[in-house]
Structure 1
Amino acid sequence: MAVSNVNSNTGTNATGNSLAASSAEELSNRFLTMLTAQMRNQDPLNPLDNAELTSQLAQISTVTGISQLNTTMQWLGYSMGSLQATQAASLIGRKVMLSGDGLTLADGKAEGGYVLSIPVESAELVVKDADGVEVARKKLTDVEAGVHTFTWDGKNAKGDTLPDGDYKFEVQVGEGTKVGAAPPLSVTQITSVRPSSGSTTVVDAKGNLVNLSDVYQVW
C-alpha cells in the first residue's frame, strides 16, 4: 500500500537531519577554535574589543540557530506528511462525496449530492446518459441551505429500470421565476492512498485521483 512509501522515507530524513546537525556542530566548533586562537594570539596592549567579541559569539549562535531551525522545519514537514497519509489511509474502503457530476448506478441504486448556498423553493434531479440525453427526473425535498444527499432508483419516467453504469446529473433549482443549477457532488469509494511531497491524494475505485481538500463528506 502506498502508505509504506511514506515510512520508507524515515531513513532518508533521519540521515539528512543527522548530516545537518553534524554540519552545524562542525561549523560551530571551527568558529570557536578560530576565535580561541585569535584570543590567545591577541596583542596584550591592544586586546580584542568586547563589542567585536560579542559580535563573533552572536555569529556562532546565529549559524547554529538557523541550522537547528532548518532541521526542525524539515522534521515538522515530514511529520505533517506522515500524519496526513495516516489519516488518508483511514478512508480506504469508505465512501466520500466530492465535487463532480458523475452518478454510478449499481444494483438499481445510485447516490449523489448537491450544495445549496441559500434556501430555494424547488430542487429537481436530472439524470443524463453518456450522450447527454436526459433519461430521468426526480423531485428533491431538501431545499434548505447546506450539503444534501439523494438516491436514485435507476428508473426512468416510464418506470423502466435502466442498466447499471455511469451517468451524469445536475440539480435544477428554482426561486420564484429564477431557475439555476446547484453545484453537484459525486459519491465514490476510496481504494488506496498516494502520498506525495506536496499533498496526499487518495484513489477511488475507478482509478481517479481525489484531493482530500475536495471531499465534503465521508461515510
Structure 2
Amino acid sequence: MSVTSVSDTYKSLGVYSGDSKAEEDSGNLGIDDFLKLMTTELENQDPLDPMDNSQMLSQIASFATVTGIDDLQTSFSSFADNMESSQSVQASALIGNSVLIESSVGNMTEDEGLSGQIYVSDDVTDLTVKIYSEEGELIKTLEIGEASGYTDFTWDGQNEEGEVMEPGPYQFVASGTIDGENTSFATATVGTVESIVLGSDEGIILNLTGIGSVLFSDALEIT
C-alpha cells in the first residue's frame, strides 16, 4: 500500500473526515482504526489462502511512516494479541484438512494409500521410491522412471506380492541416477490434521495422523 500523506492514509482506511481538527486528533484514533481493520481482515480471511506476510508488513511499515514509530508501538501489543488469536482460529479450521510437509514418513490409509512428492534436482530416467516398514523392512519399490522437478507419487498399500499391508506410518526413500551416481532426493508427504496445539514457544503445532507433530509454519501446501 503506497502512502504519500496523512490524509491519503486515512481516506484509504475510511476514517478521514476531511477537516483539519479531525486530522490533528486522528493520531491515536487512526492507529486504533488501522489495527482494528487489519485484525478484522485477518479474522475473515480464507485459512486456505491467507494474507501474504509481505503484504501485511508493507501496510504496517507504510502506516508507521505517517503516524510515527512510537505511536505505532504503543498500540501494536494489542494488535499482536489479536493476530495470535486470529491465527489460532485459522489453525483450528484446518482440522480434518490435508497438508503437504517435508518428510520421509507418511501415513498409509485403507482408502487412499500413501501420497507424497519428490523434488528431483535434475533430469533422471530411473527414479524409484522404496517403501519401508517402521522396522526397516523393504515393502515395495515404486518404479517411476523419467522425472524432473516436483514429482508426485502414490502407493496403494500393497507389497511386492500384492498383499495389502496394515494401515499406519511407513518410511520412503526416493533415488535416481545423476551423472552416473545414485542420488537421493528430498521428499514430502500428505498428512491429515488430527488436532492442533496452541501456546507453544515455537508457534502453532499441527498433529498429523500417523505422522506426528509439525509446525504450522512448515506446511508447504494446504488442501
TM-score range, shorter chain: 0.5 to 0.7
Indicate the residue corresponding to 2:63 in structure 1: none
Which residue type is aligned with residue 100 of structure 1? S
Counterpart Cα distance in 1 of 2:120 and 2:77: 41
CA contact (8 A) 1:122 1:175 kept: no
Structure 1: unaligned runs, 5 residues or longer? 1-20, 22-64
Pair 1:130 & 2:134 matched: yes
Distance in 1, matches of 2:145 and 2:105, equals 21
Question: Does the aligned pair in 2 maintain the 1:121–1:176 contact within 8 Å?
Answer: no
What is the match of residue 121 of structure 2? 117
What is residue 100 of structure 1 aligned with on the other side? Answer: 103
Give the aligned partner of residue 174 of structure 2.
171
Q: Does 1:74 align with 2:92?
A: no
Which runs of 5 or more residues in structure 2 are unaligned?
1-27, 29-67
Tell which deviates more after alignment, 102-111 or 149-158.
102-111
Shift of 1:68: 4.1
Q: CA deviation at 1:197?
A: 6.3
Indicate the structure (1 or 2) with the bigger Cα radius of gyration: 1
2:96 alignment partner, SS class: coil
CA distance in 2, matches of 1:133, 1:203: 26
- 1:113 is paired with a residue whose SS is strand
Cα distance change of structure 1 residues 151 and 201 upon mapping to structure 2, 3 Å threshold = same
Alignment partners' CA distance in 2, 1:190 and 1:101: 17
Q: TM-score, normalised by structure 2?
A: 0.60
Instruction: Report which stretch shifted further, 87-96 or 111-120.
Output: 111-120
The one of the two structures with greater contact order (alpha-carbon pairs below 8 A, sep at least 6) is: 1
Q: Which digits, 9 at most, give the CA deviation of each residue in 1:20-64, with x for residues without a partner?
A: x9xxxxxxxxxxxxxxxxxxxxxxxxxxxxxxxxxxxxxxxxxxx
Residue of structure 1 equivalent to 2:6: none
TM-score normalised by length of structure 1: 0.61
Aligned length: 155
List aligned pairs for 1:34-113, cutoff 5 A.
68-107=71-110, 109-113=113-117
Q: 1:207 to 1:144 in 2, by over 3 A?
A: closer
Distance verdict in 2 for CA 1:196–1:145, change over 3 Å: same
Structure 2 counterpart of 1:205: 209
Q: CA deviation at 1:97?
A: 1.4
SS at structure 1 position matched to 2:122: coil
Provide the identity percentage. Answer: 21
Q: 1:117 to 1:89 in 2, by over 3 A?
A: farther
| Alignment match, 1:27 | none
